[in-house]
């Protein structure tokens, strides 16, 4: 048997000139695969003398070829980039791995490795792409979305994926009479699919979603983590405990979960999208950012999430570590409770915006890893109104507005500080202290309040605060996700309001509803541009910052993805062994 191995240009450059075509890389070996000898005499012209420069180049050339053949022929040699365990350091544990219930990032990061949707966002973008649905169409009236499903897909428990599985997974979120009915208490979860009036199975691999009215954001909402397709067998077996026993079609299978310690996932060798390269993923809970940094530096972990700006700066200086940065789809803001008497007047809310120096905030708290915010969503999302002028930092203007509004000088407001750090709020307590100082400068007294995270979320969504620090990661990169979901009158209903400022503006809400019914992007944009103007004038929030999305990892990892929302499957990631 005879094989010919063309040299790469890099190899050719390394050894200089290459022997002629008549004398190049002919290597003979037995068909069993192991090289039995390389006859350089077969390829050396008789005029080449031992010790000559040409002789040295040819010997090097032969050596390179021999190494290539050896790697190609060793029995059982590991395919390039396959195998290994990725250890992922996170700031906290997951709450549930049933993503229809998940409202926290740690649950989503783990769950999307196991569970999949009909559609998904691109590897490094927020463009919708097929996942368990191969294709889809929308009826001319905009009411019926028909999905052609992928064939030959199995859940991790061997159950076939089909239209019935899709029906059961979505109906349990929407239909209170469905035996698997079980969705989260946070109104945003049901709002994402509330316009779906009927789910219709057409055949084993075709399903239709029928909406109450034309609803343009539906496709993006279906790509959100909260619309996972689970095994009907597993849902029937585990019922409301499915979040502890997730069974999906994803590239990794759930293995075990030790609360507040680690979650272990293993490769799904039968994955329809091709066998993943990693053997295992271990998601470790490491609450302290400094401990996550040390673990990354010592190679105890491969990825460290949610590092503070100081730590990210150190990672950038380490030759063994890598950093990816992307424009985000998030916002950190101060929500102002518009139902509190002291904050009902828009002039008071505008004054608070004028009182805060966002540029200094970006430099000191975010250390440049953010841009100042002026609108409810970032400029990385279409429909952004860049013509709006931000509230400039002006204590004088703030004082003037407070005087016009007759704001009582003896009023003390509570400023609730988040008890956890997020990319959009990396130093919550320091941020609260800085804002407290800015407000004191214009005559607004504040008292910083801290709560346990679960209590904080519950009380904030019930309107039990004056001012609170909050944020949002726009998972579907649609303006509707921010404007209607977080600011409409429909979502300002307690308990469990997603619009935590409890701001209710009829014109704003109507613009959002009109945009939902419109499939023409240019027309939708017009509605959203006007809605942002109303938001700016009414000032129910103080938009603070849009942080940069950052991923810090060991350089032994390759093909590490990072979407603007920070949520990715790690199917294609591989690790040097």
Task: Mean pLDDT check: name the lowest of 77-91, 360-374, 417-431, 493-507.
Answer: 77-91
Please state, in angstroms and rounded to a whole number, the distance separating the CA atoms of residues 472 and 381: 14
Pairing of strands 445-450, 541-547: unpaired
Q: What is the mean pLDDT of residues 246-262?
A: 98
Nearest partner of 115 among 245, 219, 240, judged by Cα:
245
Task: Express each pLDDT in 338-376 by its tens digit.
Answer: 999 999 999 999 999 999 999 999 999 999 999 999 999
The number of C-alpha atoms within 13 Å of 49 and in the hemisphere containing its C-beta is 1
Say if residue 438's pLDDT is above 60. yes
Task: Report the pLDDT value the prediction gives residue 517, as an integer from 0 to 100.
Answer: 94
Of the candidates 104, 131, 135, the residue with the CA atom closest to the CA atom of residue 118: 131
Q: Are 55 and 49 in contact (CB under 8 A)?
A: yes
- The pLDDT of residue 479 is above 90: yes
pLDDT of residue 52: 45
Percent of the chain with pLDDT over 70: 84
Measured distance between the N- and C-terminal CA atoms of the chain, rounded to whole angstroms: 32
Domain boundaries defined on the chain: 2-73, 82-97+106-113+250-325+550-577, 116-236, 330-547
Classify burial at 228, counting beta carbons within 10 Å of its beta carbon; exposed 0-12, middle 13-18, buried 19 or more.
Answer: buried
Place of tokens 């190494």: 67
Per-residue b/e over 177-213, b at no fewer than 16 CB within 10 Å?
Answer: eeebebbbebbbbebbbbbbeebeeeeebbbbbebee
- d(CA 169, CA 148) in angstroms, rounded, equals 16
Retrieve residue 304's tokens: 């460290």
Q: What is the pLDDT of residue 552?
A: 98
User: Across residues 262-291, what is the average pLDDT?
Assistant: 96
For residues 93 and 285, what is the distance between their CA atoms, to the nearest angstrom? 5
Rounded to the nearest angstrom, the gap between the alpha carbon of residue 295 and the centroid of all alpha carbons in its chain is 23
Higher per-residue confidence, 23 vs 562: 562
Residue 188: predicted pLDDT: 54
Confidence at 12, pLDDT banded by 50, 70, 90: very low
CA of 289: how far to CAs of 98, 484, 529, in Å?
A: 27, 34, 38
Write out pLDDT tens, residues 398-429.
999 999 999 999 999 999 999 888 889 988 99
pLDDT classification of 123: cutoffs 50, 70, 90: confident
| Three-state DSSP class for residue 84 | coil
- Mean pLDDT for the chain? 86
Cα(447)–Cα(440) distance, integer angstroms:
11
Q: Which residue has the higher pLDDT, 35 or 150?
A: 150
CA–CA distances in Å: residue 482 to residues 461, 488, 498, 532: 16, 9, 10, 11
Per mean pLDDT, which range of 57-66, 389-398, 470-479 is the poorest? 57-66
Q: Which CATH number fits domain 330-547: 3.10.105.10, 3.40.50.970, 2.60.40.10, 3.40.50.10470?
A: 3.10.105.10
Strand ranges (E), 286-407: 303-304, 321-326, 330-336, 370-372
Report which of 256, 254, 251 is spatially closest to residue 270, judged by C-alpha positions: 251
Whether pLDDT at 8 is above 70: no
Among the residue ranges 189-198, 361-370, 449-458, 459-468, the one predicted with the least confidence is 189-198
Say which DSSP state 427 is in: S
Q: Residue 24 has what pLDDT?
A: 36
CA distance linking residue 562 with residue 553, whole number of Å: 12
- pLDDT reported for residue 14: 36
Q: Where is pLDDT greater, at 531 or 178?
A: 531
Tell me, what's the pLDDT at 124? 73
DSSP code at position 116: B
Radius of gyration of the chain (CA): 29
| Omega within 30 of 0 (cis) for the link into 346 | no
Asked if the domains 116-236 and 330-547 are classified in one and the same CATH topology, the answer is no
* Range with the poorest average pLDDT among 49-53, 474-478, 557-561: 49-53
CA angle 108, 426, 386 (to 5 degrees): 85
Tokens found for residue 556: 């032994």
Question: Do residues 541 and 523 make contact, with C-beta atoms less than 8 angstroms apart?
Answer: no
At a CB cut-off of 8 Å and minimum separation 6, what does 509 contact?
A: 484, 488, 489, 490
State how far Cα 392 lies from the chain centre. Answer: 31
pLDDT digits (tens, 9 = 90+) for 176-230: 888 888 655 545 556 678 899 999 999 999 999 999 999 999 999 999 888 999 9
How far is residue 540's CA from residue 151's CA, in Å, rounded to a whole number?
48
Write down the CATH number for the domain with range 116-236.
3.90.76.10
Give the whole-angstrom CA distance, residue 528 versus residue 480: 8
Cβ–Cβ under 8 Å, residues 348 and 402:
yes
What is d(CA 557, CA 16) in angstroms, rounded to the nearest whole number? Answer: 33
Which residue is associated with the tokens 């849902």? 235
Q: How far is CA 359 from the centre of its chain?
A: 26
Q: How many other C-beta atoms are found inside a 10 Å radius of the C-beta of residue 459? A: 17
H or E segment and range at residue 303: strand 303-304
Q: What is the pLDDT of residue 182?
A: 66
Q: Among 91-105, 125-139, 154-168, 447-461, name the one with the lowest average pLDDT.
A: 91-105
> Do 118 and 147 form a contact (C-beta atoms < 8 A)?
yes
CATH H-level superfamily of 82-97+106-113+250-325+550-577? Periplasmic binding protein-like II (3.40.190.10)
DSSP class of residue 320? T
Written as one string, the DSSP assignment of 225-241 is: TTS-B--HHHHHHHGGG
Ramachandran class of 216: left when φ > 0, alpha when ψ lies in -120 to 50, beta otherwise: alpha
Residue 568 in contact with residue 556, Cβ under 8 Å?
A: no
With a cut of 70, say whether residue 3 has pLDDT above it: no
Which two tokens mark 31? 């068909």
């Amino acid at each position: 048997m005879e094989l010919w191995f063309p040299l790469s240009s890099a190899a050719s450059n390394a050894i200089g000139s290459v022997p002629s075509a008549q004398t190049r890389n002919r290597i003979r070996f037995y068909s069993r695969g192991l090289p039995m000898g390389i006859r350089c005499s077969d390829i050396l012209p008789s005029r080449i003398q031992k010790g000559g420069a040409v002789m040295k180049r040819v010997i090097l050339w032969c050596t390179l070829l021999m190494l290539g053949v050896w790697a190609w022929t060793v029995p059982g040699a590991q395919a390039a980039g396959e195998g290994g365990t990725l250890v992922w350091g996170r700031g906290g544990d997951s709450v549930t791995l049933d993503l229809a219930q998940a409202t926290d990032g740690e649950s989503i990061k783990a769950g999307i490795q196991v569970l999949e949707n009909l559609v998904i966002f691109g590897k490094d973008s927020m463009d919708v792409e097929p996942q368990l649905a191969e294709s889809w169409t929308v009826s001319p009236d905009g009411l019926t979305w028909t999905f052609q499903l992928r064939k030959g897909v199995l859940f991790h428990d061997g159950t076939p994926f089909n239209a019935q599985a899709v029906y059961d997974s979505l109906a349990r979120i929407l239909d209170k009479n469905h035996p698997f009915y079980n969705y989260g208490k946070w109104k945003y979860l049901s709002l994402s699919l509330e316009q779906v009036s009927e789910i219709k199975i057409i055949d084993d691999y075709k399903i239709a979603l029928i909406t109450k009215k034309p609803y343009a954001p539906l496709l993006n909402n279906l790509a959100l983590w909260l619309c996972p397709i689970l095994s009907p067998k597993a849902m029937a077996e585990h019922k409301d405990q499915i979040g502890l026993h997730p069974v999906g079609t994803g590239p990794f299978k759930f293995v075990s979960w030790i609360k507040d310690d680690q979650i272990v996932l293993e490769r799904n060798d039968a994955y329809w999208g091709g066998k993943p390269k990693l053997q295992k993923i271990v998601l470790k809970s490491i609450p302290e950012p400094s401990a996550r940094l040390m673990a990354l530096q010592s190679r105890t972990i491969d990825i460290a999430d949610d590092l503070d700006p100081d730590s990210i700066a150190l990672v950038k200086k380490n030759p063994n570590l890598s950093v990816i940065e992307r424009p985000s789809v998030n916002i950190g803001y101060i929500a102002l409770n518009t139902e509190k008497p002291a904050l009902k007047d828009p002039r008071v809310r505008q004054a608070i915006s004028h009182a805060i120096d966002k540029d200094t905030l970006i430099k000191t708290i975010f250390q440049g890893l953010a841009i100042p915010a002026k609108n409810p969503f970032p400029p990385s999302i279409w429909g952004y109104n860049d013509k709006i002028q931000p509230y400039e930092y002006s204590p004088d203007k703030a004082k003037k507005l407070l005087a016009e509004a007759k704001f009582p000088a003896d009023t003390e407001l509570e400023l609730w500080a988040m008890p956890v750090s997020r990319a959009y709020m990396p130093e919550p307590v320091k941020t609260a202290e800085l804002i407290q100082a800015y407000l004191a400068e214009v005559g607004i007294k504040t008292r910083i309040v801290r709560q346990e995270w679960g209590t904080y979320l519950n009380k904030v969504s019930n309107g039990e605060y004056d001012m609170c620090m909050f944020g949002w990661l726009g998972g579907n990169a649609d303006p509707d996700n921010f404007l209607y979901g977080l600011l409409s009158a429909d979502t300002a209903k307690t308990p469990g309001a997603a619009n935590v400022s409890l701001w209710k503006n009829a014109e704003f809400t109507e613009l959002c509803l009109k945009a939902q019914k419109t499939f023409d992007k240019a027309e939708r944009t017009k509605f959203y541009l006007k809605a942002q103007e109303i938001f700016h004038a009414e000032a129910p929030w103080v938009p603070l910052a849009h942080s940069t999305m950052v991923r810090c990892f060991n350089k032994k990892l390759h093909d590490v993805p990072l979407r603007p929302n920070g949520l990715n499957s790690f199917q294609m990631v591989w690790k040097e062994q």
